[in-house]
Amino acid sequence: MRDLEPEEFAGIELIRARFLETARIFDFSMMEPSPIESLATMEAKSGPAIRDEIYLFRDKGDREVALRFDFTVGLTRYVASKKSLRMPVKLATFGSVFRYDEPQKGRYRHFHQWNVEVYGQTDVESEAEVIEFTARLFEALGLVVTIDISHRKLVESRIAASFGSADSVLVADVLRAIDKTAKKSRSEILREFTARGYDAARLEEVLDFSSVVGTPMEVAERADVSELEAWDHIVDLFYALESRGVGNARVNLAVVRGLDYYSGTVMEVFGADPAIGALAGGGRYDGLAQAFGHTDFGAVGVAGGVERILLAMREMKAVPQPEISAVSVLYTERAVRGDAVRLVSALRRAGLPVSLDLAGRSLKKQMTAASRSRFAVIVGPAEIRKGKVVLRDMKKRTERPVTAEELQRTLLHLLRT
Ligand code: AMP
């Protein structure tokens, strides 16, 4: 697992701040589910196959437990266990998750996710709510993204119609073929699946269908969707998005979101560079509450990968430099270091971000280190005798002597405006 160095950390904090602000605007309540779950809880979502992808261990009480690999499982377990909660419940969370992935660019074993979930609603409006949230958050981060939307039942009913069977193993297998189109060529997929006995013409029909992308109207012109299950739902969802002013969503029938627990609408968010992978993903997963012994209460959510979003922001040059102290206090010689320390302490108590050389370096070296600060304050014996210090504006390259009170007042005024 990685260490988060200052630059990365500052980027994560920036995204966290934008996320908290957007969650507040959209009336989501922040919480954090437990970092460790029992294996049984983890498996409720994706079955035993999840064992290969998580950090799984026996604790000192000989219980099989695992580090959380997302927030959806913990939040849903929490909501299912709190029978007194008044639905709908809107929860948001931000933090670390852990996956036993093979590390590579944009894929880590320890990374951060932001996550919003709406529980207790099964209609289009709760889906539109999390999609609008996603659109606004990316806007606030200065990233241009596309939100690709599909519906599991729509694609599943196309598979059933093409193959003349709704057998769950067959449907899951063909969904897997669609899922592979993002990474493999069509001929590779056809070769692999015909070798396993699948009919090439039927498979091609489904792959043609899944390659359709556009507005609902464009999709309806290019694919025979009106008779398929859930098409009306997609149309309603896009009306809801239009009235919420979300203009960057489109239908993309290739989105199936792995083979997880999704039961309805599914979505994936991509930035300008598809090589980074999906920046966020989500959908409706109404069945999960039942796995926790609760009646189905309806659930829809979106989770975003913070480090991937940061990669996309860096490519767009949308990440500001890590913040450095706006004020640097310098001392010309050791004899006045005590005066400098007292001044720094007073400025910090007034809430000003101030840096001070701790290593006793020469004034020249202190000046070099201070070059990125907005202001430098120079403490020297001649000025101290007059009860003053020198305030230097590093941008305008001007300087003037000021008293300690004047300094504090001026800096508070200049840095707040
Ligand atoms: P998921 O829970 O798999 O739907 O993931 C939600 C989002 O988390 C994805 O869209 C990615 O942006 C991000 N993500 C998933 N796996 C990783 C990983 N191993 N490393 C970094 N980000 C990831």
Confirm or reject: Cβ of 271 under 6 Å from ligand 1: no
pLDDT at position 104: 87
113-117, 284-288, 309-313, 318-322: least confidently modelled range: 318-322
Q: Give the position, in ligand 1's atom list, of the atom nearest the Cα of 304.
A: 7
Q: Whose CA is nearest to atom 11 of ligand 1?
A: 305
pLDDT at position 319: 76
Confirm or reject: Cβ of 148 under 6 Å from ligand 1: no
When the pLDDT of each residue in the chain is averaged and rounded to a whole number, the result is 93
The model's confidence at residue 417, banded by pLDDT at 50, 70 and 90, is low
**Phi then psi dihedrals of residue 350, to 5 deg:** -80, 0
pLDDT tens digits for range 197-225: 999 999 999 999 999 999 999 999 999 88
pLDDT at residue 253 is higher than 80: yes
Mode of pairing for the β-strands spanning 354-356 and 398-403 = unpaired
29: left (phi over 0), alpha (psi -120 to 50) or beta: beta
Q: Give the position, in ligand 1's atom list, of the atom nearest the Cα of 109.
A: 19
Q: Give the position, in ligand 1's atom list, of the atom nearest the Cα of 282.
A: 4
pLDDT at residue 377 is higher than 90: yes
34-38, 242-246, 258-262: least confidently modelled range: 258-262
The model's confidence at residue 295, banded by pLDDT at 50, 70 and 90, is confident
pLDDT at residue 322 is higher than 80: no
With the most atoms of ligand 1 within 8 angstroms of its CB, the residue from 19, 76, 101, 113 to mutate is 113
pLDDT at residue 95 is higher than 90: yes
Q: Whose CA is nearest to atom 20 of ligand 1?
A: 107
